[in-house]
Amino acid sequence: MSNTFGVIVGNRGFFPGHLASSGREEMLRALEAAGHKAIVLGTSDSRHGAVETREEALRCGALFRAHAASIDGVIVTLPNFGEERSIAEALRDAALPVPVLIQATPDTAGKMTIADRRDSFCGKMSACNNLRQYGIPYSLTTLHTVEPGSAGFQADLDWFAAVCRTVKGLRRLRVGAIGARPAAFNTVRYSEKILERNGITVEPIDLSEIFGRIERMDANDARARAKLDEIHAYVNTDGIPAESLMKMARMGAVIEGWMRDHALGVSAIQCWTSMEEYFGVVPCTIMSMMSNGLMSSGCEVDVAGVIGMHAMRLASGTPSALLDWNNNYGGDPDKAVCFHCSNLPKHFFDDVRMDFQEIIAGAVGRENTFGTCVGRVKAGPMSFARFSTDDDSGVIRGYLGQGEFTSDPLSTFGGAGVVRIPNLQSLLRYICEEGFEHHVAASLSTCAGAVHEATTKYLGWDVYLHN
């Protein structure tokens, strides 16, 4: 996944200038090797293409402002000590609301004479000190000093790119809320006003409007026919009535069109029981397909839950799911069963088939509940996230962490997997003491650290990182 980074090359005149010049080229090569683009002063714009004087800082700021729409983050590279005040002034003048990464190049033990000495080790502290004074948030590489061309920096760059994508994707997110929150789910209440204050807009639509648009569709509507073909290609539909499949296809076409018309990136849907009683299918497969296509969709109108899904989707570049913290797993204190009935994306399963929704079939009739995606979650690393709006403090808060889905035996229905999370009992205590919801977003990736950096440092949310 390609990003565009503004690059500030630090330089201080009484340190070797050739290090600024060669360091600039090393950083640009590292970005190119990772598939990223760079916006940086040219060697004709400033001495060595670096930032040292106030004039060069203002020139850099103007360059970044001219490309503000495309810059996802800024990388400050220190091939020598660097002029810390000019770096801060360049960032202040650019006034970009994007993450900033500070990298310093290590000295070589055999090259510590005045001709080749960098002192970036020290300069990084001075740069960070000034950014703190200027009120500019910043991120750090794993090692205090690291070569731009090293595997270590490439890992840092991947992490920082995930931070940038998450910040950018959450700042102007538009969420579709389809239907009213089910009365039995007080747990998924949220504040639209707090979300709006954080740049997240909720666009609601009543289920009656969705059903009405479906009712007005022509029996041979091309959009519905195309969606039906997509469903057959997506999941095994053996044994599912043709009438139910066409209902899903028509619903999927209507929801997709509404989301496109309103520029919505994710959705949260009233999945039961009004839809089953008055329309005759569950929306799970349609939601699974949207999530698998990186347009996260959460159930029970859990808008805050789908924001967690989207955050991890942005960071990892892979589909996310919304699950219940549902059961203990025997007597192992670090294991639990995560479950939904289910709309999990196909990405989560080793094998998946369409079936009926066993939980509510007894209440609304089996024939009205076709459309779930049933299977076992595959083993592998996982990250989890939960965000909520806190009306008492007026902020978004949450928690994040990492663990793994295991291959432990499990016999149940829906979409389910066994998770192992270090020190799980303390996490469960935290969830209960802080009053968080039973829903948790999950990703088959290790992206919790990047999402935590993005949400706490750059978005100002109150988020706990487990372990």
The gap from C-alpha 311 to its chain's centroid, in whole angstroms, comes to 2
Q: What single-letter amino acid sits at 42? A: G
**How far is CA 359 from its chain centroid?**
30
Whole-angstrom Cα distance, residue 292 to residue 122?
Answer: 46
Nearest to 248 by CA among 402, 370, 120: 370
Task: Quickly count: other Cβ atoms within 10 Å of residue 230's Cβ.
Answer: 18
Q: Which residues of 97-120 are buried (b: 16+ CB within 10 A; e: fewer)?
A: ebbbbbbbbebeeeeeeeeebbbb
Q: In the prediction, which pLDDT does 239 show?
A: 97
For CA atoms 257, 261, 262, 265, the dihedral sign is positive
Q: Which residue, among 292, 306, 445, has the nearest Cα to 382 in the 3D structure?
A: 445
With 0-12 / 13-18 / 19 or more C-beta atoms within 10 angstroms meaning exposed / middle / buried, residue 392 is: exposed
Q: Are 334 and 424 in contact (CB under 8 A)?
A: yes
**189: three-class secondary structure by DSSP:** coil
Write b or e for each residue in 362-383: b if 16 or more Cβ atoms lie within 10 A of its Cβ, otherwise e.
eebeeebbbbbbbbbbeeeebb
**Domains (range + CATH), the chain:** 4-171 (3.40.50.10940), 174-465 (3.20.14)
Strands 439-443 and 380-390: antiparallel
pLDDT of res. 15 = 84
Reference 251, options 221, 273, 277; nearest CA is: 221
pLDDT computed for residue 114 by the predictor: 78
- The one-digit pLDDT tens for each residue of the chain (467 residues) are 899 999 999 999 878 889 999 999 999 999 999 999 999 999 999 999 999 999 999 999 999 999 999 999 999 999 999 999 999 999 999 999 999 999 999 998 888 787 788 999 999 999 999 999 999 999 999 999 999 999 999 999 999 999 999 999 999 999 999 999 998 899 999 999 999 999 999 999 999 999 999 999 998 899 999 999 999 999 999 999 999 999 999 999 999 999 999 999 999 999 989 999 999 999 999 999 999 999 999 999 999 999 999 999 999 999 999 999 999 999 999 999 999 999 999 999 999 999 999 999 999 999 999 999 999 999 999 999 999 999 999 999 999 999 999 999 999 999 999 999 999 999 999 999 999 999 999 999 999 999 999 999 999 999 999 98
Q: Which of 336, 319, 318 is nearest to 327 (CA)?
A: 336
Residue 24 is inside which H or E element, if any?
helix 17-33
pLDDT of the residue at 110: 82
Instruction: Evaluate whether 446 touches 383 at the Cβ level (below 8 Å).
Output: yes
Across the chain, how many H-helices and E-strands are there?
15, 18
Distance CA 188, CA 80 (A): 51
- Tokens for 256, please give them: 């997709």
- The residue count of the chain comes to 467
35, burial (CB in 10 Å: exposed 0-12, middle 13-18, buried 19+): exposed
> Distance (Å, rounded) from C-alpha 401 to C-alpha 446?
9
The pLDDT of residue 366 is 95
Q: What is the pLDDT at residue 154?
A: 98
Sheet containing strand 201-205, edge to edge, reads: 201-205, 174-178, 266-269, 297-299
Per-residue pLDDT, 438: 97
